[in-house]
Amino acid sequence: MKTIAVVNQKGGQGKSILVCQLAFFLALAKNKRVAVIDADEQGSISTTLRKYVAEGNYAHTFFGAKPIEVQGDGMLVPFVSNDVEMRKVEKMDDELQLDANKRLLLPPIVQNLKNRLADISGAFDWCLIDTPGSNSKVPNAALIAADFVLVPSVIDPYSLPVVVKVLQRVWNVKKHLNPKLELIGVLPNQFKASDKEMGKHLSQLLAMYKDHVLPTAISNRASMPLAADNGIPIWKVPQTAAREATKEVRAAFELIGTKVGGF
Ligand SMILES: Nc1ncnc2c1ncn2[C@@H]1O[C@H](COP(=O)(O)OP(=O)(O)OP(=O)(O)O)[C@@H](O)[C@H]1O
Ligand SMILES: [Mg+2]
């Protein structure tokens, strides 16, 4: 099992909506076994993936000391957010310490997550972690435990400075705490090709971070929230307009596949 953390400390960038679609894509189009951890107390994923939920699979248990016992045996298994418990996770100690030999000791929030991912690794091909839109303990733990990180971002003047910060955090985590972490890239989302200002902002981002921005984009499409509301893959949205969205989403996911060694 490989783990993809979907991270951006700014809210409203499309993390949750894309995690759900990526989960559908992997489980239903690629026939992979997928665990989805809704590590955000808002529980967006838990709502969209409601039809797949088996009682007893909770996101907060990944930050605890008890081994995970997976309930249900579907291809797509959501671990839902219990807001009270996820808030408690955010209060866990995340101080890094050194042992007597000056080796780094990971705090329980991170070590538990690594151990719990190991518990389920035989049962799944992919694990997707949706994280809250904050620079806080849960997303940072996900970065330290994951194999890959995807950074969806809206291309606007408020979002881009935040993307720069997220990239720097990813590289810091990779350098000091999780050398195996690979950046899949920034995925431009809610893009409007007709918006000249947006085009200008994307060019600016590419000028700075060409190698770290995926050469693709997902447009702003009404069929995306429609799919999320109905808890269905984008390709099952009946409107004709969903065809273009489906093409784009699939192209983006196939590209992501090439970055993670194949889906
Ligand atoms: N490509 C898109 N086209 C249209 N609407 C979109 C698209 N991507 C996201 N949205 C909408 O934008 C809003 C924010 O998306 P989402 O909740 O996935 O962001 P998020 O990064 O998970 O936010 P948070 O950090 O608050 O959890 C949602 O209402 C979603 O339906
Ligand atoms: Mg979200």
Q: What are phi and psi of 39, to 5 degrees?
A: -90, 25
Cβ(217)–Cβ(189) below 8 Å: yes
- For the segment 175-200, the average pLDDT, to the nearest whole number, is 96
- For the segment 64-68, the average pLDDT, to the nearest whole number, is 98
Q: How confident is the model at residue 243 (pLDDT cuts 50, 70, 90)?
A: very high
Q: Residue 64: which residues within 8 A CB-CB, separation 6 or more?
A: 112, 116
Predicted confidence (pLDDT) at residue 190 exceeds the cutoff of 80: yes
Predicted confidence (pLDDT) at residue 241 exceeds the cutoff of 80: no
Atom 29 of ligand 1: nearest residue by CA position: 225
Predicted confidence (pLDDT) at residue 144 exceeds the cutoff of 90: yes
pLDDT tens, residue by residue, 83-142:
999 999 999 988 888 888 888 899 999 999 999 999 999 999 999 999 999 999 999 999
Ligand nearest the Cα atom of residue 152? 1
Residue 182, pLDDT score: 98
Query: Does 220 sit in the ligand 1 pocket, CB within 6 Å?
Result: yes
Residue 259, pLDDT score: 97
Residue 239, pLDDT score: 79
Q: Residue 223: which residues within 8 A CB-CB, separation 6 or more?
A: 234, 237, 239, 241, 242, 245
Atom 15 of ligand 1: nearest residue by CA position: 14
Residue 123, pLDDT score: 97
Q: How confident is the model at residue 10 (pLDDT cuts 50, 70, 90)?
A: very high
CA of 153 to the centre of ligand 1 (A): 10
Sheet holding 76-79, edge to edge: 76-79, 34-38, 126-130, 2-6, 148-154, 182-189
CA of 14 to the centre of ligand 1 (A): 4
Q: What is the set of domains in the chain, with CATH numbers? A: 2-259 (3.40.50.300)
- For the segment 40-68, the average pLDDT, to the nearest whole number, is 97
Predicted confidence (pLDDT) at residue 58 exceeds the cutoff of 90: yes
User: Strand runs (DSSP E) across 91-205, as ranges?
Assistant: 97-98, 104-105, 126-130, 148-154, 182-189
Atom 16 of ligand 1: nearest residue by CA position: 14
Q: Residue 7: which residues within 8 A CB-CB, separation 6 or more?
A: 15, 131, 139, 142, 143, 149, 150, 151, 166, 170
CA of 59 to the centre of ligand 1 (A): 20
Q: For the chain, how long is the longest CA-to-CA vector?
A: 63
Predicted confidence (pLDDT) at residue 240 exceeds the cutoff of 90: no
Query: Does 182 sit in the ligand 1 pocket, CB within 6 Å?
Result: no
Pocket test for ligand 1, best of 6, 7, 17, 191 (most atoms within 8 A of CB): 17
- For the segment 9-15, the average pLDDT, to the nearest whole number, is 97
- Cα angle 30, 82, 3; round to 5: 35
Q: How confident is the model at residue 176 (pLDDT cuts 50, 70, 90)?
A: very high
Residue 103, pLDDT score: 87
51, containing H or E segment: none
Cα–Cα distance for residue pair 231/67, rounded to 1 Å: 29
Q: Which carries the bigger pLDDT value, residue 259 or residue 101?
A: 259
CA of 150 to the centre of ligand 2 (A): 13
Q: Which residues are 78's β-sheet partners? A: 36
pLDDT tens, residue by residue, 201-237:
999 999 999 999 999 999 999 999 999 999 999 999 9
Residue 104, pLDDT score: 87
Residue 97, pLDDT score: 87
Query: Does 228 sit in the ligand 1 pocket, CB within 6 Å?
Result: yes
CA of 43 to the centre of ligand 2 (A): 8
